[in-house]
Amino acid sequence: MTMPDHDGDATAQERLPAQQRLAAQEELAAPEQLAVQERLAALERWRLVLGEPGHSVMAGGQLSDAGGGRDAALDWLYGRDEDLERRGIRQTRHGGDGPSLVTTVDWLDGITTLFPKETVERLQRDAVERYQIHDVVTDPAVLARIEPNPTLLKAVLRTKHLMNPDVLLLARRIVETVVRQLMERLATQVRHAFSGARSRNASRFKVARNFDIRRTLRANLSHYQPQERKVYVETAYFVARTRRHLDQWQVILLVDQSGSMTGSVIHSAVTAACLWGLPGVKTHLVAFDTAVVDLTADVDDPVELLMKVQLGGGTDIAQAVAYGAGLIEQPRRAILVLISDLYEGTGGSERLVRLVGDLAGQGTKVLCLAALDEDADPAFDRDLGQRLADAGAAVGAMTPGELAAFVAEQVGR
């Protein structure tokens, strides 16, 4: 006969409360540990922002492995800033003492694993635009692996004159990918803008976008229940969409191809391609600096068009407007869109204002857009802009979708 082990039972009874106490202690400690981790993460972010001079914020601690990698990647790029050395802010980096051990390819590979996509694109933009690291888009090894984005497209257009044919072929992949993405996005907006005007006539086709909420509420007010504060709809009404007869309109895009207008050049090409072939619209695309180049023949192929654009040089806006005026067939059915920062380089502002006044006077719609891109953030000569507005032009900035909607509104009248 086996006797019960009372000592074992006592040990088990003593162990259970101890385990519970340990679990309770761990549960209480978890929030404290999480708070410490969050504080260290915040300190590390500040350290990355401040660079090596901000090491004291770590209170004697060290960067994590990932933090160290991010710091090295940031220092590779921003440590070359001459202003930092002049001000004595960052003296630990000696970029001029010899060749860097990190190549552009290594750096690009590193940042794609260390940072989120938005940050990677910002770093790439600063590398190309701020520090002129051209091998980001001229090195075949880089082009073969880099993820296309709008920043790189701008860089390719600015530096393609530096590329040999083999590199240019790789760079074209960036142009094709980004242009395709922009086309897909804008084409939807253009189709919506040109889908037809809403008529007040009733429709048999019950489509949500044609729901006539005003008529529906008015017709069903008798079914309002005050206690429930609801209107019960017995009959819903919809409006019809009609396609009016569309008389031919001309849309003439005059695009300043100076270096500061790169984004607008890209979106002008994409916008022209989306407008090309639409009913009631005849599209022209003209690029200019001190010379005028009519690119209309290539409008249906925006990739090829962009590869032909030569960015930079001076600016003769008046000459471009005069060329555009010569294309107009019916003044009252023409929209002339001047896309420029309005910094007239030839001193021909008086002629420009006079030409715009003549165009507006004959009934032509004149838009002066300081920016045509997804940000629509204009930077332009405001004095000249005001004079053009006084002459009858509409001056401002638009996104490509807003320009398409404006054109659709004019054509549908």
Q: How far is CA 394 from CA 229, 303, 324, in A?
A: 46, 30, 17
**Two tokens at 22?**
């340990």
Predicted local distance difference test score (pLDDT) of residue 389? 95
First to last CA, the chain: 106
Chain position carrying tokens 């690029």: 287
Of the candidate ranges 61-70, 343-352, 387-396, the one whose mean pLDDT is the lowest: 61-70
Q: pLDDT (tens digit, 9 = 90+) per residue, 353-388?
A: 999 999 999 999 999 998 887 776 777 889 999 999
d(CA 300, CA 114): 40
**Two tokens at 91?**
């003296």
d(CA 156, CA 309): 11
pTM over 0.75: no
Query: Residue ranges per domain, the chain?
Result: 68-183, 197-242, 249-411
pLDDT band at 95 (very low <50, low <70, confident <90, very high): very low
User: Mean pLDDT over all residues of the chain?
Assistant: 78
**Four-residue CA torsion sign, 301, 334, 396, 387:** positive
Q: pLDDT (tens digit, 9 = 90+) per residue, 111-163?
A: 888 888 888 888 888 887 788 787 777 788 878 778 888 888 888 888 887 78
217-237 mean pLDDT: 87
* Residue 93 neighbours by CB distance under 10 Å: 17
Q: pLDDT (tens digit, 9 = 90+) per residue, 228-265?
A: 888 888 888 887 655 444 568 899 999 998 877 888 88
Length, in residues, of the chain: 413
CATH of domain 249-411: 3.40.50.410
